[in-house]
Amino acid sequence: MHKDSVFRLHLGVGVFGGFMSAVRNIHVCRGDHRSSVDTKAAELGEALVPEQEQLPSEQYEDRYRASFDQAAVGILHTSLQGQILKCNQCFARIVGYPPHEIVGANFQTLTPPEDRDSGKAAALALLSGEAASASFEKRYIRKDGKLTWVLLTISIQRDSKGVPLFFLTMVQDIEARKLAEERLAAARRALQVSEARYRTAFQMSLDSVNLNRLRDGLYIECNRAFLELTGYTREEVVGRTSIDLKIWADVRDRQRMLDKLGEHGSCRDLEAQFRKKDGQVFWGLMSASVIELEGEPCVLSVTRDISDAKLAEKEIRYLAFYDSLTELPNRRYLMDHLAQAVAASRRNNSQAALLFIDLDNFKVVNDSLGHHVGDLLLKEVSRRLTACSRSVDFVARVGGDEFAVILEGLGKPSCEAASAAKCVADKILGSMRLPYRIAERDCATTVSIGITFFGQQNDDVSEILRQADLAMYQAKAASRDVVRFFAPELQAAANARGELEEELRLAIRKRQFLLWYQPQVNHGSVIGAEALLRWKHPTRGILAPAEFISLAEETGLIVPLGAHVLESACRQLANWSRSPNLSSISIAVNVSARQFRQVDFVERVLATLKETGADPCLLKLEITETMLVENLEETITIMKALKTHGIQFSLDDFGTGYSSLTYLKRLPLDQLKIDRSFVRDMVADPTSGAIAKAIVSLSQAMDVSLLAEGVETEEQRSFLDRLGCHSYQGYLFSPPVDPEMFRQWLPGNQP
Ligand code: C2E
Ligand code: CA
Ligand code: CA
């Protein structure tokens, strides 16, 4: 029914559309709209309203009212001045006012100020008859203050003469549609922005980005970075697959990526190598995920070129795991590999061996020929070492002049495994013994090798290294240039050494040490004595230095021990100075390298002399050649400083060390002590005899005194005497004895 009425009303608009002349004279001025339109309309309106009552028959009137009120569209009658004459229920609902509250009000009161102009042009066009109807969208202010969108269709009702009566407005509530439209527009704007953003991100990304169809792998899109990185043009890429382009250096990586995508829908940080168009391979870090694009599952991949990082990583790895001088794996790598070898041996139930190799006289070469030659020697040693081992063996430089070789797959524990290892070790020994020609100089070195086996028990890596090291020390102690196997007995010895160290510390605190004195004789009279250390062990009796000196040196305990010796010897000197037949006897004190290298060694010696009141001229310090090569200049400075106070220096064990004239000449020495070994052998062995003879002439050339130690027989004494050496120390005269016995032993002091 109301449909019918709407139709008719629209028809009405058309019918009345032609009549317009009556309002032609209405003058509208935009600037003063209210005054002109409103006054004219007011005149008209007053005349028109009563005319409504003259409308058709009663029946028609009822139908009209019903359709007016029940219409699903808002209907509004407005006077030509804009006053609301009549409105239906629907309109009232749209604006939220009951009809009686708005009838009589100007429709502009329902219009937000900024929208008020929008209807004016339409109204004028209608009034002037230019348009039969006008349709536009606008907003109303509802009673609750909210704005609501409506679509207006306005026409003018005229009387039979065509005189405008009132505006008839159809008001459609389009708030919901507007809202949806606004949302859609906002969404579209956002989409545009984000699309633009994505497009930019896609294109501008420094990482290479590509999009492939999941089902066949075809490239759909790729960015600039992708093209730059791979060297292809976009045309060469799009429509083809990574397989077509042979992009994956290893296609198994592609499978790995696909597997991950299948499993998780994404794949993060896959490191793989890729091939460029020109065949060059580079490292890439790839992340990919499956996305849906217009209903089609695609793979979006982002790849970063990490070739530089890989190179740096390799470099760092190299620095961390290799020795830069010899280019062999370093200690860290050795430990790492050893751990793997242990696991592998256990798994395969097969023996493996660790060879610990130490150069026998590297220090001498390094100190006498210089570090440059030393470095070259180490390089040559590592070259020979590599040549002696199989390609599967692991050769490393542990540090300094220490090397290690891991031999794996030696089979079941057996004599064969041991002899296989021994075979390699012997080969190494033989190769190292060959002369070296380095920087146009000849040098020679040998190595000592310690071997231990692993893989059967639950071996600990550092324990294996310790065992090989221990065996190597055993080789050194034996004679150098040999191989020694680690044996459990060695372990026991090592444990005992640990205990001994503890005891030694305690002994120093408890002052369990004694000094014995061994006379030094010249032409039949006692001129001096060497102070020799003894440990009065609480359970083991008197211990000789051989039992503890090397341990004291290794642990650094030699420093406090040496201080104690020096102090005791000086007290002894002061004590003897009070006996006429002892007052001119000098005391020789052994000084170890560590003690000598203390920064305040000179001050310590002088302070001890002062404290004890000993005569510095009767104190002789025995130093060894090995101490000298370490730092010749420093040694000379220390010696000179002490010599200005009258302290003398004797070079102990002479002939066993490097014996280079070049530095001997520069040392402010007072005495050379011919080593026991020459004295022992010289009578029977012509070489030793010749050396002893040479030492005598050397001492004469250097203008230093000479003393032979370890003189046990009269034959030796007279032999030395004939050579020109007249000072002796040895069992022939007396072993080291305690001070009381020494006093008694002295000629003229016998009871
Ligand atoms: P050294 O300085 O060469 O001392 C001489 C060693 O030869 C002494 O052994 C002495 O007892 C021994 N000896 C003396 N005459 C003969 C002989 O006719 N035949 C034989 N076969 N041996 C003889 P000792 O007292 O056992 O000392 C051994 C080493 O211990 C010393 O060798 C020295 O290097 C070191 N030493 C001893 N006392 C001290 C000390 O107070 N400080 C330091 N740093 N080292 C010390
Ligand atoms: Ca000595
Ligand atoms: Ca000696």
3-state secondary structure 613-672: CCCHHHEEEEEEHHHHHHCHHHHHHHHHHHHCCCCEEEEEEECCCCCCHHHHCCCCCCEE
Instruction: Mean pLDDT check: name the lowest of 20-34, 268-282, 317-331.
Output: 20-34
What is the band of 659 on the pLDDT scale with cuts at 50, 70, 90? Answer: low
Mutate to test the pocket of ligand 1, among 516, 570, 590, 595 (most ligand atoms within 8 A of CB): 590
DSSP of 323-373, one letter per residue? -TTT-SB-HHHHHHHHHHHHHHHHHHT--EEEEEEEESSHHHHHHHH-HHH
Helices (H), 103-174: 120-128
pLDDT of residue 257: 93
Phi, psi of 228 (to 5 degrees): -65, -40
Ligand 1, atom 42: closest residue by C-alpha? 590
Nearest ligand, CA 673: 3
Ligand 1 atom nearest to 736, measured from its CA:
11
Mean local confidence (pLDDT), 324-352: 91
pLDDT of residue 293: 84
What is the band of 196 on the pLDDT scale with cuts at 50, 70, 90? Answer: confident
Mutate to test the pocket of ligand 1, among 543, 709, 712, 713 (most ligand atoms within 8 A of CB): 709
d(CA 654, CA 641): 23
Nearest ligand, CA 655: 3
Pairing of strands 164-173, 208-213: unpaired
Q: Which CATH class is domain 17-32+178-310?
A: alpha beta
- Determine if residue 543 is left, alpha or beta; phi over 0 gives left, psi from -120 to 50 gives alpha, anything else beta: beta
Ligand 1 atom nearest to 709, measured from its CA:
15
d(CA 321, CA 396): 10
Residues 512-564 have pLDDT tens digits of: 999 999 999 998 899 999 999 999 999 999 999 999 998 898 889 999 999 99
DSSP of 55-98, one letter per residue? -S-HHHHHHHHHHHHH-SSEEEEE-TTSBEEEE-HHHHHHHTS-
At the fourth CATH level, which superfamily is domain 35-173? PAS domain (3.30.450.20)
Instruction: Mean pLDDT check: name the lowest of 271-280, 433-442, 444-453, 636-645.
Output: 433-442
Helices and strands, number each (H, E), in the chain: 29, 26
Nearest ligand, CA 532: 1
At the fourth CATH level, which superfamily is domain 322-486? Reverse transcriptase/Diguanylate cyclase domain (3.30.70.270)
Ligand 1, atom 25: closest residue by C-alpha? 532
pLDDT above 80: residue 252: yes
Q: What are the angstrom distances between the C-alpha of 257 and each of 262, 286, 301, 343, 493? A: 9, 9, 10, 31, 58
How far apart are the CA of 705 and the centre of ligand 2, in A? Answer: 15
Q: Which residues contact 23 (CB under 8 A, 6 or more apart)?
A: 44, 80, 127, 128, 129, 163, 164
Per domain, the residue ranges of the chain are: 17-32+178-310, 35-173, 322-486, 508-745
Residues 6-37 have pLDDT tens digits of: 333 333 333 333 233 333 333 333 334 444 43
Ligand 1 atom nearest to 562, measured from its CA:
42
pLDDT above 80: residue 145: yes
Ligand 1 atom nearest to 558, measured from its CA:
44
Which residues share a beta bridge with 515? 533
Element (H, E) at 603: helix 601-612
Mean local confidence (pLDDT), 299-327: 86
pLDDT of residue 38: 42
**Which residues lie with the beta carbon below 6 Å from any ligand 1 atom?**
518, 532-533, 544-546, 549, 562, 565, 590, 592, 652-653, 676, 709-712, 729-731, 736
Residues 432-472 have pLDDT tens digits of: 999 888 888 888 889 999 999 898 775 788 889 988 998 99
d(CA 286, CA 242): 14
d(CA 156, CA 169): 8
Q: Which CATH class is domain 508-745?
A: alpha beta
Which residues share a beta bridge with 651? 623, 672
How many Cα atoms sit within 13 Å of 223 on the Cβ side?
19
Element (H, E) at 595: helix 593-596
How far apart are the CA of 705 and the centre of ligand 3, in A? Answer: 15
How far apart are the CA of 444 and the centre of ligand 2, in A? Answer: 28
pLDDT above 50: residue 49: no
d(CA 216, CA 477): 73
pTM over 0.85: no
Q: Is 167 exposed, middle or buried (0-12, 13-18, 19+ CB in 10 A)?
A: buried
Average pLDDT in the chain: 85
List the structure tokens of 620.
């002789």
Residues 717-741 have pLDDT tens digits of: 999 999 999 999 999 999 999 999 9
Ligand 1, atom 15: closest residue by C-alpha? 730
CB 669 within 8 A of CB 618: no
Residues 566-595 have pLDDT tens digits of: 999 999 999 999 998 899 999 999 999 999
pLDDT above 70: residue 400: yes
pLDDT of residue 491: 63
Ligand 1 atom nearest to 729, measured from its CA:
15
d(CA 374, CA 380): 10
17-32+178-310 against 35-173: fold identical = yes
pLDDT of residue 53: 46
